[in-house]
Chain A
Amino acid sequence: EAQVTQNPRYLITVTGKKLTVTCSQNMNHEYMSWYRQDPGLGLRQIYYSMNVEVTDKGDVPEGYKVSRKEKRNFPLILESPSPNQTSLYFCASSEVGEETQYFGPGTRLLVL
C-alpha cells in the first residue's frame, strides 16, 4: 500500500531535550516536505527536499533541522525543543512536478 508513515504519532517531551520525528514514504517520491499545523493558522511549511541531499527552508524553519540521506526518509530534528514548537506535524511527499502531495497521519508534539 502506498503510504507516508510518521513516528512517533504522539510525543511529550521537555524543553531542550533533542528529538527526532521520522518520516518514510514507499512511493519513490523525490519531493518530501514537513508542515506544522496550529489552530487558526492552517499548515505552514517548515522544510522541503527536492531529492537526496537537497533540502531547503520553508516558511517557518527556525528551530528545526532536516536531513535527506535516503530517498525514502526525511527526518525532522528538533535540537532544543521549546514550548512554542508544541504543534501537530505532517510529513508529505510527491513526484517532482506532480501537483498532488500525499500526507502522513501526523505527529502530535507537546513540549513542556
Chain B
Amino acid sequence: AQSVTQLDSHVSVSEGTPVLLRCNYSSSYSPSLFWYVQHPNKGLQLLLKYTSAATLVKGINGFEAEFKKSETSFHLTKPSAHMSDAAEYFCVVRNYGGSQGNLIFGKGTKLSVKP
C-alpha cells in the first residue's frame, strides 16, 4: 500500500531564507507524487507533480522537488522564502490499488515565514 510521511508538522523560516519541506513515501509501484498548497481559508492548489519523467520537478512560485528513489523521498524546496509562501503544504501519493486510484495525503506541514 502507498503512504506518505511529512516529517515536520510545522516549519518556520525567515523571509529570504531557503525552504525545505520533507516528505518520504512508500509505494509498491513507481509512484506518482504531488505537492499541494493550501493558503488560509482557501482550497488546495497543485504546486508540482512527479510522474516518472525528470527527477527534478519545477513547480509554480519558484518551488521545486526532487524525486530520490534510493531515499524514497520527495522533498519540496525553494531558494528564498516570501511572506506569501506562508501556507500549509501537503505531500501526496497516488494510490494505484483499485481502479483509477485515489490520492493519499500526508498530514501537512504548516510553513510560517517571519519578516
Contacts and interface: CB of A to CB of B under 8 A. Distances in A.
Chain A interface size range: 20 to 34
On chain B, which size bracket covers the interface?
Answer: 20 to 34
A48 B46 CA distance: 19
Contact of A43 (B32, B98, B99, B105): B105
B47 to A, nearest CB: 11
Nearest to B44: A103
B34 A106 contact: no
Interface string A51-95: 000001011000000000000000000000000000000101000
Contacts of B99: 50, 56
Contacts of B105: 35, 42-44
Nearest to B46: A100
Contacts, number: 53
B82 interface: no
Interface string B42-68: 111110010100000000000000000
A33 interface: yes
A52 B44 CA distance: 25
Given A59-B102, A103-B36, A104-B43, 13 more contacts: A35-B105, A40-B107, A42-B105, A43-B105, A44-B105, A45-B102, A48-B100, A90-B43, A99-B34, A99-B94, A100-B46, A100-B49, A106-B42
6 contacts: A41-B107, A43-B90, A50-B100, A96-B100, A100-B49, A103-B44
Interface of A: 31, 33, 35, 40-45, 48, 50, 56, 58-59, 90, 92, 96-97, 99-101, 103-106
Interface of B: 9, 32, 34, 36, 42-46, 49, 51, 90, 94, 98-100, 102-108
